[in-house]
Amino acid sequence: MTPTLLITGANRGIGLALTELYLEHGWQVIACCRFPGSAPHLMTLKNRYSTLTTYGLDVTDHTVIQQLALQLIDTPIHLLINNAGLYGPKGYQFGDVDTAAWREVLEVNTIAPLVIAEHFTPHLEKASQSGHTPIFAFLSSKVGSMSDNQSGGGYIYRSSKAALNAVIKSLSIDLRSKGIRSIALHPGWVQTQMGGPKALINTATSAQGLKHVLDTLTDSQNGNFIDYQGQEIGW
């Protein structure tokens, strides 16, 4: 059976790089973003690969998530990468936190991933029943690590990823009996719209590292926090 990847936030950055990499390796890819038709690089890949399908998906619209899950109900999914993310405001200080923006970031980075997992667990179970070990992979960030926080600030993005890590840890326990692994991934500091031009690595390097981590993931790593080089990160 040809393995299938479903990925969110596939229109640019790491999501686009992962989409292209898995297509190159012969996977069926279901690429989701808010406006696929307005994503020229994604449309170029769609013209090149018959194994790529695209869907419009706003991850904060839970009705649309449910509808997509129903539309794909007969599709076994071997790997679901929750890549869609939102940084929120930059440059603010303690005493000047925009709580409305904070709620928006939490909707995208923390709540949406769990809603997606709830609706797509049956699809990963189908893959498990065919002898595969499916994975929920969530793009987290090292800045969500409390033990690594030496600089303070960043309340909105840090807290959203720390909360996501808690969600992932619980999923790894709750879904283990279904044969599904759940993993938190740090992609590195990547040259994207979010990471900025001064970032240390490009999207291809990050994508290749993340794929290697997922390809070699063991059951003992279920529920762990791992970077693109395979190194464990403290919570």
Task: Name residue, tokens 């189908």.
Answer: 126
Of 92, 91, 9, 19, which is closest to residue 51 (Cα–Cα)? 19
Whole-angstrom distance, CA of residue 56 vs CA of residue 58: 7
Give pLDDT, residue 136: 98
Residue 184, classified by CB atoms within 10 Å of its CB into exposed (0-12), middle (13-18) or buried (19+), is buried
Whole-angstrom distance, CA of residue 24 vs CA of residue 200: 24
Give pLDDT, residue 139: 98
Average pLDDT estimate for 87-114: 97
**Residues ≥6 apart with Cβ < 8 Å to 22:** 5, 7, 29, 211
Query: Residue 196: pLDDT band by 50, 70, 90 thresholds?
Result: low
DSSP letters of 141-198?
A: -GGG-STT--S---HHHHHHHHHHHHHHHHHHHHSGGGT-EEEEEE--SBSSTTT-TT
Give pLDDT, residue 190: 81
pTM of the model: 0.95
Share of the chain above pLDDT 90, in %: 91
Query: Residue 200: pLDDT band by 50, 70, 90 thresholds?
Result: confident
* Distances from the Cα of 98 to the Cα of 69, 93, 101, 122, 141, angstroms: 33, 10, 5, 37, 21
Average pLDDT estimate for 228-233: 96
Whole-angstrom distance, CA of residue 209 vs CA of residue 129: 28
Query: Residue 1: pLDDT band by 50, 70, 90 thresholds?
Result: confident
Query: Residue 195: pLDDT band by 50, 70, 90 thresholds?
Result: low
Average pLDDT estimate for 110-122: 98
Query: Residue 193: pLDDT band by 50, 70, 90 thresholds?
Result: low
Average pLDDT estimate for 8-19: 96
Average pLDDT estimate for 178-194: 88
State how beta strands 135-139 and 181-186 pair: parallel
Query: Residue 194: pLDDT band by 50, 70, 90 thresholds?
Result: low
Q: Is the pLDDT of residue 26 over 80?
A: yes
6: helix, coil or strand? strand
